[in-house]
């Protein structure tokens, strides 16, 4: 028999689902009640797949890009969405400011002749 995966979000309204019955496959003992699902079960199947790829590639964003055939901004966007779905806050402004400052420093070094165009492009692509 094909294993069915538990879903964490209601397919009708999108709100969180909960488990009401647990049963042992071996002895058929059962517990009934209101049980929460794990945080990862609340992720969409696409988000779960993304996390599997992210973990299997040890967080190497270039590898995630290659495996999923998506761009760096898409990887970051999906990672931010997963972080938020898990209940954490994403500090986008600070991350964007750090990236802006990094690019500004690279461009200034290029302008001063401290970097070649090739090296500047390599650093910007990260």
How confident is the model over 11-31, as a mean pLDDT?
89
Enter the pTM of the model. 0.57
Q: Which long-range contacts (CB under 8 A, 24 or more apart) does 99-103 make?
A: none
Which range scores top for mean pLDDT: 3-7, 24-28, 90-94?
A: 24-28
Share of the chain above pLDDT 70, in %: 93
Band (126; pLDDT cuts 50, 70, 90): low
Yes or no: say if 42 and 85 are a contact pair by the CB < 8 Å rule: yes
Whole-number pLDDT of residue 36: 79
What residue segments make up the domains of the chain, in order of their start? Answer: 1-38, 42-125
């Amino acid at each position: 028999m094909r294993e069915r995966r538990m879903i964490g979000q209601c397919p009708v309204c999108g709100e969180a689902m909960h488990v009401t019955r647990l049963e042992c496959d071996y002895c058929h003992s059962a517990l009934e009640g209101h049980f929460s699902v794990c945080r990862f079960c609340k992720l969409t199947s696409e988000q779960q797949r993304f996390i599997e790829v992210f973990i299997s590639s040890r967080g190497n964003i270039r590898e995630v890009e290659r495996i999923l055939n998506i761009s760096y901004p898409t990887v970051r966007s999906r990672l931010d969405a997963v972080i938020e779905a898990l209940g954490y806050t994403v500090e986008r402004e600070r991350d964007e400011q750090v990236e802006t400052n990094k690019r500004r420093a690279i461009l200034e070094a290029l302008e001063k002749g401290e970097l070649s165009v090739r090296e500047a492009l390599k650093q910007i692509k990260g």
